[in-house]
Amino acid sequence: MIYLVRHGQTVFNAELRLQGRLDSPLTGLGRSQAHLLGLKLRALAGADDAELESSPQDRAVCTARIIAAAMGGRRQIRLDPRLREISLGSWEGLTQADIESRWPGVWRGTVRQSWVESCPDGETYDSAEARLKDWLAEAVAQETRVVVSHGVSIGILRGLYLGLARDEALAFPVPQGVIWVLDDGAIRTVLD
């Protein structure tokens, strides 16, 4: 079983800036989201003593540390670079308006669709899918774990787990403060 969560809100998230491989600190709301996730996970059967795994990017690690503290006890956090967010190349740190002004006509309505169809020098979908598929193949065969990752990566992971096509995987909403439980070929959402 995999308990999958997105990192808490960051300064860039609040400013509607694309992060990709860049990092910005968690906001007060982001720290609160992480703490509440930890409390929810502590109350879920199976999650309370699960291994904690995270993307090595700072916003995910910070979220994982807050979750670990809220879950209680001393927990090691295993970092796996395959869980990192996609690279958005030249778009990292920019807003939608910045992208529109520098690359007119490339914005496709969402970060995920724009990245796949138009990002000039970011990571390709196939590359991101390959590393996440590799991680998922290992993860489903192992013990229960709590995993902290990123918006686009989580969308791809959920799509891979359910065997969905690329467009379906990229259409998944990936809000912060939610736990997705991947178990027995299905995904359920824990909101409260």
d(CA 139, CA 127): 19
Residues 34, 176 contacting (CB under 8 angstroms):
no
- Residue 192 has a pLDDT of 58
Domain 2-190 belongs to what topology?
Answer: Rossmann fold (3.40.50)
Q: State yes or no: pLDDT of 165 exceeds 70.
A: yes
Residues with a known catalytic role: 7, 85
16: alpha, beta or left, given left = phi > 0 and alpha = psi -120 to 50?
A: left
Residue 111 phi, psi (nearest 5): -55, -45
Which tens digits make up the pLDDT trace of 130-151? 999 999 999 998 889 999 999 9
pTM of the model: 0.95
